[in-house]
Amino acid sequence: MSRLLITGGAGFIGSNFVHYVIDHTDDTVVVLDKLTYAGNVASLAGLPANRYTFVHGDVCDKELVDKLVAKSDAVVHFAAESHNDNSLVDPEPFIMTNLYGTFSMLEAVRKHDVRYHHISTDEVYGDLALDDPHKFEPNSPYDPSSPYSSSKAGSDMLVRAWVRSFGVPATITNCSNNYGPRQHVEKFIPRQVTNIIDGVRPKLYGDGLNVRDWIHVDDHNAAVLLVLKKGRIGETYLIGVNGELDNKTVIEKILLAMGQPADAYDHVSDRPGHDRRYAIDATKLRTELGWEPKFRDFDAGLAHTIDWYRDNEAQWRPEKAAVEAKYVKEGH
């Protein structure tokens, strides 16, 4: 049994991870979360009080982080500003949370010699051409495009340096685009699903041919737990399930699954610097740690996700109008 400190545990992936850990291990969990617009304690409802504690606070608060890390056996650092579009409007919180916040976590785990796992993204590798036969591999060169992805790239570099210079017992995973329950309505799939629920047409950026490599959030989290328990210290593992789809296809699938004509969407202005394609080669994770994904059928996972948004309107409704107002201002 381990005492896990999970940062960003009220967000999309972090909250699903907390549920996953409670369901699949004997570990106890402390969540540290600032509850920004992206955090929602409702995502953590129903967890057993003897195994789960919530701490409202900032990963940049070094004193608080130090206290919590001192009482932990391992840290899983999910907390981040996570939305590319927001980073193009106001990069500052991305620099603070993603860079300084990671520095703050690393200093505490260094001091207390605590196992650290860093959650990162495939976006640190930049993008691929649609016809490029290659996929991202752990040693692909870093080439981030946006303030978000560059701040995540910087945070990965800090982790690598703290491993090499200070011997911090850390691992890193870089995962592709997640989908599933409890994702914020600003993100692509939840935005379209909740638009359709509201009778509004989905919005496709640019030509809609940009490709994302979709993975169910529970497959991501199963891999994170495996790397935390069995990964080699100092290593980077890429997580992905060969789930490449272009955005136009995803919108068409959502529309059809929700009983609408496949072409009932609008094209809107493109994202500046919009990455064309991401694709993950997860061979290292599969061969070294024997990882296998469970959610092999994207359409089934999507249907389940749509049901979650239909059944949990109280959770996402309070954010929806503000998100759409923000997109109107940005021309999306």
Q: What is the DSSP string of 54-67?
A: EEE--TT-HHHHHH
Partnered with residue 77 across adjacent β-strands are 7, 118
The residue type found at 21 is V
Q: Determine which one of 116, 148, 237, 265 is catalytic.
A: 148
- In the residue annotation, 123 being an active-site residue is answered as yes
Considering 33, 81, 122, 186, which one is annotated as catalytic?
Answer: 122
Binding partner selected for residue 320 from ligand TDX, ligand NAD, none, CB under the kind-specific 5 to 8 Å limit: none
Q: Shortest approach of ligand TDX to residue 273 CB, angstroms?
A: 11
Under a CB-based contact definition with an 8 Å cutoff, are residues 180 and 217 in contact? Answer: yes
Kindly compute the dihedral angle of the four CA atoms of residues 197, 208, 243, 275, in this order, to the nearest 10 degrees.
Answer: -120
Contact of residue 97 among ligand NAD, ligand TDX, none (CB under 5-8 Å per partner type) = ligand NAD
With H, G, I as helix, E, B as strand and everything else as coil, classify residue 139. coil
Applying CB under 6 A, the residues found at the interface with ligand TDX are 82-84, 121, 123, 177, 187-188, 191, 203-205, 210, 212, 247, 271, 332
Q: For this structure, is 148 an active site residue?
A: yes
Site membership for ligand NAD, residue 75 (CB under 6 A)? no
The beta strands (E) that lie in 52-106 are given as 52-56, 74-77
122 is catalytic: yes
Residue 182 interacts, among ligand NAD, ligand TDX, none and using kind-specific CB cut-offs from 5 to 8 Å, with none
The first and second tokens of residue 44, run together, are 């953590």
Choice from 170, 175, 250, 280 touching ligand NAD (CB under 6 A)? 175
Distances 226 to 94, 182, 223, 283, 289 between C-alpha atoms, Å: 28, 22, 5, 15, 7
Q: Compare residues 51 and 332 and give the one whose CB is closer to ligand TDX.
A: 332
Q: Catalytic residue positions?
A: 122-123, 148
Site residues for ligand NAD per CB under 6 A: 7-8, 10-14, 32-36, 38-39, 58-60, 78-82, 97, 101, 119, 121, 152, 175, 177-178, 184
